[in-house]
Structure formats: C-alpha cells, structure tokens
Amino acid sequence: MTKATTLDVPVGGRADPARMMEGRERRFAAALLAPAFIALMATTTFPLLHLGWTSLHRMDLAMPFMDGFVGLDNYRELLGDPRFWSALGVSLVYTFSTVILQVVLGLALALLVNGMKRGQALFRIVAILPVVLSPAVVGMVWRTFMLTPEFGVVDYLSMTAGLGSHNWLGDPSLALFSVVVIHTWQWTPFAFMVLLASLAALPEDIYEAARIDRASPWLCFVRITLPLLRPAIVMVIIMRTMVALTAFAAIFTVTGGGPGTATEILNLYAYRKSFTELSIGYGSALAVALLIFTLVITGVLFALRRAK
Amino acid sequence: MTSVKPTRRHVLQAGLAAVAFPALIRSAGAQDADLSAYKAAKIDWRQASGEQITVAVIPASYFDALIALAPQFEALTGISVRFEKIPPAQIRQKAVIDLTSKAGGYSTHAADPMYYALYAANKWVESLDPYLKDATLTDPAWFQPDDIIPAWRNANTIDGKLYGVPYDGEVTVQVYRKDLYDAKGLKAADTLEDYVANAAALNDPGNRLWGAALRGVAGAGQNVYIYSSLFKEFGGDWFPGGKFRVNGPEAEAALNWYVDVMRKYAPTAAQNWNWPDIADAFSQGTIASYIDANTSASVITNPEKSKVVGKIGFARWPKGPTGKRVSSIWNWGFPINASLPEKRKKATWLFIQWAASLQTQALTSYQFSGPAKRSGVNRLSLWKNPDFVKLMNSFGDNFVATTLDALEQDTDVNWRPRVPQWPAIGDTLATAIQQALVGQATTKAALDEAQRRLEPMMRG
C-alpha cells in the first residue's frame, strides 16, 4: 500500500492508478496501431478521395489547356452518355448471369460430390485448378486454344456436334455469352468448394428424422438442405457479385470489350476513357459511378442476408 | 574525377545492368569492336560520360539487335544505358504516365509517331532541332540527318519541329502468293477493284484457302492503321474546311470496301487478327494475299515456320478510286524526355544519334552477327546499298523496289489525323470499324456514332 502511494504522489497525488494505466495502455495501443492505420489511409482512403476530387475536374491529357475544376459536369455528362448506360447494362447482365450460374452449378456439383463415397479428394483438387489460374492466363487460353473459329477446341466440338462453326468472340451476340461462360468456368469451383464444405457439416439427424417421416428427396432438399445452406449461399453470392462487378482481366484479354462494345463492362469503359483516351477526369467519374453501384448492390445483399 | 576511371558506382551500375540483361554479358565482347567509324564524327562523344539513361523499348528482334550493340555505345561515350522492355500494348500508357509524372523515368522510349502531337501539346518532349543544329552535339556531315527516310521524319514532325528520330519502321505493301497468281494468270493488283477480283478468283474456303486478309482486330494501330489508308484513297479528308470529320460518303465507301473484303474473302477469325496472325496464316498457305507491313516478310520467309518460302511476291498498295496510293507507315522513333536534367538530355541525344546513325543501322541489319537481321532500317542510302539489297531481296520478288517506291511515293503524312486527341480518335474509330465489321451496326451508323462521340472532344 505504501508502495502504491509513493508511486502515485509524484504524478499529482489524486490520480486513480487503474485509470492512469488504462490511459497509458490506450496511448500505447494507438501508437501500435498508427503505422498500420496511416499505411491504410495512404493506400486506400487517400487515393479514393483523390479519385473523387479528380472526378470533379476536367483533366484531359490530350487538351491540357482545358483542364480545371468543373464541379459535377462529368457526372452530368455521364448521365447522358449512352455508352455509360450500355456498359452498366453489360456489367449487370454479366454479374447476375455469372453469379446465378456459379451458385446453381456449384451447388449441383457439391450435392453430387457430397454423395460420392470415393474420389472426393481427387475431385476437389481437379476443381480447384481453374481458381488458382490468373484470369489473364485463363483469358489467353480461352481466346486462342478454345474459342478460335475453325481452329479452337470448342469450335471443333461444335462443328462435330453439327452446330456449325461460330465466331465465338467476334459475333456480338455470342461474345457476351462466351465471356460469361469463361468466368463461370473459372469461378464455379469456388462456389462448389464452399458449398461442399457446408454440406459436409450439415447435421445428419435432421435427415434421419425426415426419412422416418418419409419425406421425398426433393422435399428434403427444399425444406432442409437449402435453408441450412442459406448463409453459405448468401456469402458466396455476395463475394462473387463483388468480384464480378469489378472483373477486368479476363474480359480485357479475351475481347478487350469488343467486338464493338458488346462486352464492354463499366470497369473496362472507365479504363479506356482514362488510359486510352486519356480523359482522366471523366474516367474518374465513371470509376466513382462503378463504386457507388457496387456499394449499393452489396448493401442490398447484406440487408437480404440479415432479413429472415 | 575522370570518367574513364572505373569508380565503385560504375562497377555497381555495370553489375546491375548485367543482372538485368544477360544478353549484354554475352555480347560484352562487342566492346572490343572497332569504334573508329563513330570517332570520325567531329563531336566529343564523351561529353556526358558518367550519366545513366533508361531506354524503354518493345520486345522485338530489331531492338534486341540494338541492345546487343549497346556495350559499344557505353565504351564510346562512358554513358551507361539501361533498357526496359515493355510490350507494345502497354508502352504508350507507360510512357504517358512517366511523362505526366515529370519524374524522367525513361530518358527516351520507342515512341508511337501518332503521339508526338500529344507530347508536344503538353511540352513533355524536347524539340530536337536545337540538338541537330548544335555543332558540339551533332556533326551533320557525319550524321547526315537528311538520309533518314523523309516519310518517317515527317511523321515525327509537328508544326515544323522534329520530336523523334526514327530508328526502325515499316511501310505497308501488298503481299501475295506468286505461285497461285501465276497459275491463274493473275497479276498483283493495281487498283482496289483488281485486288477484290484477285481475291475472288482465288478464294476457296472449302480447300482452306482464303483470298485476302486485312487487320481486323480493333485498335488505333490495328484496324485503323489499314482503314486510314483506304479512307484517304477513297478521297477522305480528316479536316474538311478545318472541322474534324470521320463520317461522310468517302468514309462509308472506304469502310464498305474493307468490310466487304473481310466478310467475303478473309477467314472469319481474321476479324480478331493483328498482323502476326495474318503472317502466320499466310505462312501456312491458307491466305492468297494480304496488305500489311513490309516487315512481316521476316515471318513469312522464315524457313523454319513458313511453307511458302520462295513463292512470295510484293507490290505497292493498290490505287483507290481517286487514283492515289496511300500506304500506312510506321516508325519507332526516339524522343527526349523534357523533364531530364541538362546533362542527361545530352547523354540521351548522343544515344539517339548513335542508334540512328548509318553505322549502327548497318551493324544491326545486314552486318549483324546474330540470326535476326533487321529489315526496317532508317537510311535511304542503306536501302540502296548492294549488300543490304541482296539480303532483303532474298525475302521475295520485288521486295526492295516495292518498299522504296512505297516509302518515297505512296505516303501521306496526314493519312491519320495528327492531333493531340489522337488516342481518343484512334480508339473510337477502332470500335466503329469493328462494329461495322461484325455487323453490330451498319457502316453509316457506326461512323455517325463515332463522329457524335468525337465532336465534343475536338471542340475542347
């Protein structure tokens, strides 16, 4: 006791030792946190704010004499830009179709493999392969090896099956379909792995009870499996949606947004505006628009996840 | 400190260069080579000794030849050179980003001639005329700047000022299968009509032979590269009455011709082809003729890959309805980054002068010790040098005569609109041409849409 008193006296006499320790600890924690916090601010928040700031400017490398603050002009122009709306449409079609396909196919595969007695491990290893490839590599492989008319594997199969040769990436109506297939091919294994793991963790006793009640397999699936898997499915949907909305590399390498603008997603349009046409200001506005859409859609999905 | 004495920094720099470019080690023996041809120039090559410059190039055999020779430049000048290879699809963006940052990351880079207007508008690169006129930096009697192919120099000149010295380049010509043409009694096309007739006569997709191929893939340097020549041959003008215009009857006629040839006589896949794909297909004997760069000859005459060696003929661009021939031309030139300190600018100029000199051009082409001897040399005198001509004519019938005629008579410096907005124009036109080609829009609709998009950009 005397020890504590003698220690306290020099600091002011009436300080509470516990509170003082707490304050010191908080300062220490703040000091420990600071580097990471500053690094995070510098690498994420600051560029984001800078992007927003740039989007309020006219910044055109081709016409540097026109540069300057323009307020919301870029956004006004964006709302009247048909190519923006078409790119947004392509982005939405691309996102929803790939996510739905991934979940449906991934779930089907997971159910199939979950019932397998042997070879599950092998199947899982094979399935993971596309996921670990870089999207740019996947794009190159599909573009040259699989989809080239008259020379590619897919076209050969199509010709052999009597469906004829098609310009899979050159025909505007087929190109979007092709890039959706490529993305689905690469990322379905992700959905498959997550859902397979969740399936394996489902409690067996509920199914046993259902069997005693003579529930049909379909009923079991709809009333037991799906509700139990719901959190996993929603999680897969959220993660895949965010990635699909910001997809870039595969489409860039496969079609570059073409033919024409048939596969030009919003991301690619912002890239072309900024780095090919060198209209950095307008390109930033497009990027901000994409950010807003991603946030809104993710917000909706999270809200759906909570609602029950 | 004299620059000849190897300091620790020099050793470190050399070490770094060696780590980065093993090719340099292999050719380090070149340092012993005879430098007297360079020393004949009445300038002090060592005036910027000790400087280090960084040169961005694309991965291509014609730059590899220069990289292999670079130790000679280092021995001559005491300037160390670091090369950075950037794929052609990214070099423009990387250069622009470096130039905007004003950090002087690349002292010089292989530049797209269509970008000089943009560079000049932003004052990112130096006018090279003062360097050419400065007697301490350039010996005109030795360097002979007028010997450099005028069409390429003009392409790198904006408002009368030269911004980049051409190092390597090309001109587009007709390439055809002489054996197939002879068998049917056909001649190389003199007009675009003849070209279509020839293609129609030989087109036989059932037997995997297509009549023609042109670049189909979208890009300012791909489909627009070929289309712009057609546009000019059909009487098009980018700035009628001083106002920018990409649509109109001449543009539609040119685009219709292009779409027609591609749809009727080219493989469907050609809609996504760039020149290497065309050259590969031609090498496999599946294409009867194409219009593209003369430099593609090195692919189709490579005996290891090509099945048509010895069966190839060359001819100039067919004439358009206006009776004009307008060839597409290209060169990789070297500008000087305006953000460099003065001494490094001089070092960069010495490098450029060395690379563009007759001696270096000869050493990297017909005198080159490696297997890939470059054909895109920048000197008129070399194109008339018997040794070089002999090597080049092994490419096929009429190669040198065609190239020289095309370079001297068939070029129009404004065949593409040389304005700072070119990157946007090129991309927008590329999209429009491809939309028309794949049937996403009619030629008129595609060109009108491009005009609608480009007008506000040109107004500023």
Residue B63 and residue B76: Cα distance in Å, rounded?
Answer: 19
Indicate the residue type of A38. Answer: I
Nearest chain B residue to A169 by CA distance is: B272
Q: Do A277 and B424 touch (CB under 8 A)?
A: yes
Least confident of A10-19, A45-54, A181-190, B158-167: A10-19
| H-helix segments, A161-245 | 172-200, 204-212, 217-220, 226-245
Residue B264 and residue B281: Cα distance in Å, rounded?
Answer: 17
Nearest chain A residue to B458 by CA distance is: A63
Indicate the residue type of B309. Answer: V
Cβ-based contacts of B440 with chain A (< 8 Å) = 172, 259-262
Q: Do A62 and B435 touch (CB under 8 A)?
A: no
Among B residues 208-227, those touching chain A with beta carbons less than 8 Å apart? 218
Burial B69-104, CB ≥16 within 10 A → b, else e: bbbbbbbbbbbbbbbebbeeeebbebbbebbbeeeb
- A41 dihedral zone (left: phi>0; alpha: psi -120 to 50; beta): alpha
Which member of A149, A172, A260 has the closest CB to residue B268? A149
Q: How confident is the model at residue A255 (pLDDT cuts 50, 70, 90)?
A: confident
- B166 dihedral zone (left: phi>0; alpha: psi -120 to 50; beta): beta
Among B residues 11-30, those touching chain A with beta carbons less than 8 Å apart? none
* Residue B162 clears pLDDT 90, i.e. is over it: yes
Q: Do B431 and A261 touch (CB under 8 A)?
A: yes
Nearest chain B residue to A174 by CA distance is: B438
> Shortest CA distance to B330 belongs to which of B129, B134, B58?
B58
Give domain limits for chain A: 16-46, 73-306
Residue with tokens 């009247």: A80
DSSP-assigned beta bridge partners for residue B275 = none
Nearest chain B residue to A256 by CA distance is: B218
- Does residue B256 sit at the A interface (CB-CB below 8 Å)? no
Residue with tokens 């991301």: A267
H/E element, B66 = helix B61-77
Mean pLDDT value of segment B350-359: 96
- Does residue A54 sit at the B interface (CB-CB below 8 Å)? no
Q: How confident is the model at residue A260 (pLDDT cuts 50, 70, 90)?
A: confident
- Alpha carbons within 13 A on the beta-carbon side of B272: 22
Average pLDDT score, chain B:
90
Q: Do A260 and B423 touch (CB under 8 A)?
A: no
pLDDT at residue B232, as a whole number: 96
Residues B249-278: pLDDT tens digits? 999 999 999 999 999 999 988 988 899 999
Q: Do B421 and A171 touch (CB under 8 A)?
A: no
Give me A291's structure tokens.
Answer: 């950010």
Residue A244 and residue A99: Cα distance in Å, rounded?
Answer: 8
What's the CATH fold of domain A73-306?
Answer: MetI-like fold (1.10.3720)
pLDDT at residue B163, as a whole number: 97
Residues A122-154: pLDDT tens digits? 888 888 889 898 888 998 888 888 888 777 888
Q: Give the gyration radius of chain A's Cα atoms.
A: 27
> Shortest CA distance to B143 belongs to which of B344, B343, B354?
B354
Among A residues 64-83, those touching chain B with beta carbons less than 8 Å apart? 64-66, 83
**Chain A: closest CA distance from residue B101 (Å):** 12
**Chain A: closest CA distance from residue B230 (Å):** 20
pLDDT at residue A67, as a whole number: 83
Mean pLDDT value of segment B357-381: 90
CA distances from A296 to A117, A289, A292, B198 (A): 43, 11, 6, 58
Q: Do B272 and A170 touch (CB under 8 A)?
A: yes
pLDDT at residue B15, as a whole number: 47
Q: Do A61 and B272 touch (CB under 8 A)?
A: no
Residue with tokens 């946190």: A33
Indicate the residue type of A149. Answer: P
The backbone torsions φ and ψ at residue B175, rounded to the nearest 5 degrees and listed phi first, read: -120, 130
Q: Do A63 and B431 touch (CB under 8 A)?
A: no
* Residue B30 clears pLDDT 50, i.e. is over it: no
Q: How confident is the model at residue B29 (pLDDT cuts 50, 70, 90)?
A: very low
Strand positions, DSSP E, B316-401: 329-334
Mean pLDDT value of segment B157-185: 96
Indicate the residue type of A50. Answer: H
Residue B89 and residue B274: Cα distance in Å, rounded?
Answer: 12
Q: Is the dihedral of CA B332, B333, B339, B340 positive or negative?
A: positive
**What domains sit in chain B, N to C, each tagged with a CATH number?**
8-164+335-383 (3.40.190.10), 171-329+392-459 (3.40.190.10)
pLDDT at residue B33, as a whole number: 62
Q: What is the DSSP string of A35-99?
A: HHHHHHIIIIIHHHHHHHHHTTEE-BTT-GGG-EE-TTHHHHHHHT-HHHHHHHHHHHHHHHHHH
CB B358 within 8 Å of CB B378: no
DSSP A143: I
pLDDT at residue B381, as a whole number: 94
Residue B287 and residue B312: Cα distance in Å, rounded?
Answer: 12
Range among B15-29, B117-131, B393-407 rated most confident:
B117-131
Residue A245 and residue A243: Cα distance in Å, rounded?
Answer: 5
Residue B87 and residue B67: Cα distance in Å, rounded?
Answer: 16
Which member of A62, A149, A169 has the closest CB to residue B424? A62
Q: How confident is the model at residue A88 (pLDDT cuts 50, 70, 90)?
A: very high
Higher per-residue pLDDT: A6 or B332: B332
Cβ-based neighbour number of residue B178 at 10 Å: 18
Residue A287, judged by CB atoms within 10 A of its CB (0-12, 13-18, 19+), counts as buried
pLDDT at residue A2, as a whole number: 44
Residues A28-72: pLDDT tens digits? 999 999 999 999 999 999 999 999 999 999 988 888 877 889 989
- B41 dihedral zone (left: phi>0; alpha: psi -120 to 50; beta): beta
Q: Do A150 and B268 touch (CB under 8 A)?
A: yes
- Does residue B431 sit at the A interface (CB-CB below 8 Å)? yes
Give the global pTM: 0.80
Chosen from A165, A278, A282 to mutate, greatest number of chain B CBs within 10 A: A278
Which member of A61, A83, A279 has the closest CB to residue B100? A61
* Residue B128 clears pLDDT 60, i.e. is over it: yes
Among A residues 131-150, those touching chain B with beta carbons less than 8 Å apart? 148-150
Strands B52-57 and B108-109: parallel
Q: What percent of chain B has pLDDT over 70?
A: 93
Among B residues 116-145, those touching chain A with beta carbons less than 8 Å apart? 118, 121-122
Q: How confident is the model at residue B105 (pLDDT cuts 50, 70, 90)?
A: very high
- Does residue B453 sit at the A interface (CB-CB below 8 Å)? yes
> Shortest CA distance to B114 belongs to which of B326, B274, B332?
B332
* Residue B280 clears pLDDT 50, i.e. is over it: yes
- Does residue B89 sit at the A interface (CB-CB below 8 Å)? no
pLDDT at residue A66, as a whole number: 78
DSSP B317: P
Q: Do B422 and A62 touch (CB under 8 A)?
A: yes
Residue B218 and residue A280: Cα distance in Å, rounded?
Answer: 22
Q: How confident is the model at residue B13 (pLDDT cuts 50, 70, 90)?
A: low
Q: Mapping DSSP to helix (H, G, I), strand (E, B) and coil, where does residue A191 land?
A: helix
Average pLDDT score, chain A:
87
- Alpha carbons within 13 A on the beta-carbon side of B85: 12
* Residue B10 clears pLDDT 70, i.e. is over it: no
- Does residue B90 sit at the A interface (CB-CB below 8 Å)? no
Which member of A62, A64, A165 has the closest CB to residue B423? A62
Residue B236 and residue B169: Cα distance in Å, rounded?
Answer: 25
DSSP-assigned beta bridge partners for residue B447 = none
Q: How confident is the model at residue A4 (pLDDT cuts 50, 70, 90)?
A: very low
Q: Do A277 and B460 touch (CB under 8 A)?
A: no
Cβ-based contacts of B438 with chain A (< 8 Å) = 167, 170-172, 259-260, 262
pLDDT at residue A116, as a whole number: 84
The backbone torsions φ and ψ at residue A71, rounded to the nearest 5 degrees and listed phi first, read: 65, -130
CB B335 within 8 Å of CB B56: no
pLDDT at residue B189, as a whole number: 96
* Residue B23 clears pLDDT 60, i.e. is over it: no
Higher per-residue pLDDT: A277 or B45: B45
CB pairs under 8 A between A and B: 88
